[in-house]
């Protein structure tokens, strides 16, 4: 597109990366991206906080959710408008990642929330640095490995979703009221996803959340006393928890950062291909990975888990072809402003676990299906079938058997990294097999 048309303010520029768009017409498109990922951005924090020992208070969770919105907006803004080489200049929407939920729950439960944050801080700095100066190293992770890992993530999250559906770690776990709320929320998500049209389909989780929340009020499960406890305006809280460091936790989280990096590469590549109709450049990959890592490290200083690119927003761009950076930026600004308003975070902190479970079960299932689709795209030859079957069997099997001390013969650092960590086992096994099995092994 010529520069003259770029400099002309027009709604038509929403389909161009750098065109100028009227502010009032850009905002609805930007907000659409926020709505597509809003609940998904906050759910990981709620899940990890619920698993932490000692448990976090509702007030603390509310502050973390406020911080999560601020971090997601900040990460998206840097992707759109880079700082030095950190950022891709692509319409990539960033948010708190589900990829880390399983390992972070394990670390927070066994070592405490500060140790989890220390692992995220170090892992984020390592990923950002490797992405910035050696992004080509991530090319060593073959597509079949990424496919197996995504499938493993989906499998590992099923118990998390069902635990939330039943009421989390509350004393009334599995009670009729919890199950009614959770199942109703899930049904609403399914119906919305089935019958809604166009981009509204992406709001199925939000629809389920609203209905589940209203139902929870009738069951007396909502505590409104803390919603306004932080006032109307408040800056995000820095260093709520002082990070602590454990080598096993750091190694575990760093392995997942490698996995998250491959997801970001896949998302940005798909976005450039479908939205901009060209091949992605090495600098764009490097910049996107730098944001993935460094902003994740910053996220830990605000008490939050790592961020990554959001696939649902890539899908939204593929559907609407709206790639304008300024337009997406209005959504990023909306997230940052949301992070300055405590009642929003406190509202989601009051969300009962059954509602969260009903909303996320379908999400977790979709992650598994995405992994299966990725495996199918790699091809069902004998080599890929072997890599997928062995890595997933060992990942799920060894994790399930960890309660029986199957890892007791290994050094403690190995136990810390792999015991209870489905994704780490799947990643290592798939990675090794991808290099030792011959490429010409066909079905």
Domain spans of the chain, in order of start: 17-373
Structure tokens at 267: 């998302």
pLDDT at 398 over 60: yes
Helix axes 353-378, 143-165, angle to 10 degrees: 160
Structure tokens at 295: 């902003």
For residue 5, what pLDDT is reported? Answer: 55
Q: Which of 194-208, 266-280, 315-329, 368-382 has the lowest mean pLDDT?
A: 194-208
pLDDT band at residue 114 using 50, 70 and 90 as cut-offs: very high
Encode pLDDT of 307-351 as tens digits.
988 866 676 676 667 888 998 999 899 889 888 887 877 777 777
For residue 423, what pLDDT is reported? Answer: 76
- Integer Cα distance of 114 and 269 in angstroms: 34
Sign of CA dihedral 81, 87, 92, 96: negative
- Integer Cα distance of 72 and 33 in angstroms: 12
Residues in a beta bridge with 86: 83
List C-alpha distances in Å: 394 to 93, 275, 382: 34, 38, 18
**pTM score, two decimals?**
0.77
Structure tokens at 361: 């079960």
Encode pLDDT of 263-312 as tens digits.
788 778 778 877 788 878 888 989 999 999 999 999 999 999 999 888 66
List C-alpha distances in Å: 26 to 2, 23, 115, 208: 21, 5, 41, 27
Structure tokens at 117: 């944050």
List C-alpha distances in Å: 286 to 119, 128, 147, 283, 405: 22, 9, 21, 5, 41
For residue 94, what pLDDT is reported? Answer: 92
- Integer Cα distance of 89 and 72 in angstroms: 16
Q: Which of 117-121, 292-296, 331-335, 431-435 has the lowest mean pLDDT?
A: 331-335
List C-alpha distances in Å: 56 to 249, 384, 404: 20, 42, 29
Identify the burial level of 176 via C-beta atoms within 10 angstroms of its C-beta, where 0-12 means exposed, 13-18 middle and 19 or more buried.
exposed
In residues, how long is the chain?
443
Encode pLDDT of 223-249 as tens digits.
777 666 667 778 888 989 999 999 989
């Amino acid at each position: 597109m010529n520069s003259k048309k770029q400099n002309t303010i027009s709604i038509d520029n929403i389909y161009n990366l750098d065109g100028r768009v009227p502010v009032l017409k850009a905002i609805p498109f930007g907000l659409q991206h926020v709505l597509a990922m809003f609940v998904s951005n906050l759910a990981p924090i709620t899940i990890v906080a619920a698993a932490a020992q000692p448990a976090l208070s509702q007030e603390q969770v509310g502050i973390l959710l406020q911080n999560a919105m601020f971090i997601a907006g900040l990460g998206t803004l840097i992707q759109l408008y880079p700082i030095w080489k950190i950022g891709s200049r692509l319409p990539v929407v960033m948010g708190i990642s589900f990829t880390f939920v399983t390992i972070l729950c394990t670390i927070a439960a066994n070592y405490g929330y500060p140790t989890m944050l220390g692992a995220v801080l170090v892992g984020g700095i390592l990923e950002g640095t490797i992405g910035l100066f050696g992004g080509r190293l991530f090319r060593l992770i073959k597509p079949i490995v990424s496919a197996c890992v995504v499938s493993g993530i989906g499998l590992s999250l099923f118990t998390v979703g069902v635990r939330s559906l039943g009421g989390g770690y509350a004393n009334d776990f599995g009670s009729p009221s919890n199950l009614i709320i959770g199942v109703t929320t899930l049904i609403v998500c399914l119906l919305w996803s089935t019958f809604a049209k166009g981009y509204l389909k992406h709001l199925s989780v939000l629809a389920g959340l609203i209905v589940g929340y209203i139902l929870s009020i009738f069951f007396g499960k909502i505590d409104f006393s803390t919603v306004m406890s932080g006032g109307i305006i408040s800056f995000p809280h820095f260093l709520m928890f002082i990070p602590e460091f454990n080598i096993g936790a750091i190694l575990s989280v760093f392995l997942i950062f490698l996995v998250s990096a491959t997801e970001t590469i896949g998302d940005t590549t798909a976005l450039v291909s479908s939205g901009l109709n060209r091949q992605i450049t090495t600098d764009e990959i490097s910049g996107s990975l730098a944001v993935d890592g460094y902003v994740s490290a910053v996220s830990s200083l605000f008490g939050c888990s790592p961020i990554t690119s959001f696939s649902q927003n890539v899908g939204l761009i593929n559907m609407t072809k709206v790639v304008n950076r300024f337009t997406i930026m209005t959504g990023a600004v909306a997230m940052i402003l949301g992070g300055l308003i405590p009642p929003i975070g406190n509202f989601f902190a009051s969300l009962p676990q059954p509602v969260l479970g009903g909303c996320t079960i379908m999400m977790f299932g979709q992650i598994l299906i995405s992994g299966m689709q990725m495996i199918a795209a790699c091809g069902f030859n004998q080599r890929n079938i072997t890599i997928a079957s062995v890595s997933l069997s060992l990942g799920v099997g060894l994790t399930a058997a960890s309660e029986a001390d199957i890892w007791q013969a290994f050094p403690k650092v190995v136990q810390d990294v792999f015991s209870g960590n489905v994704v780490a086992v799947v990643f290592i096994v798939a990675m090794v097999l991808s290099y030792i099995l011959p490429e010409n092994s066909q079905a």
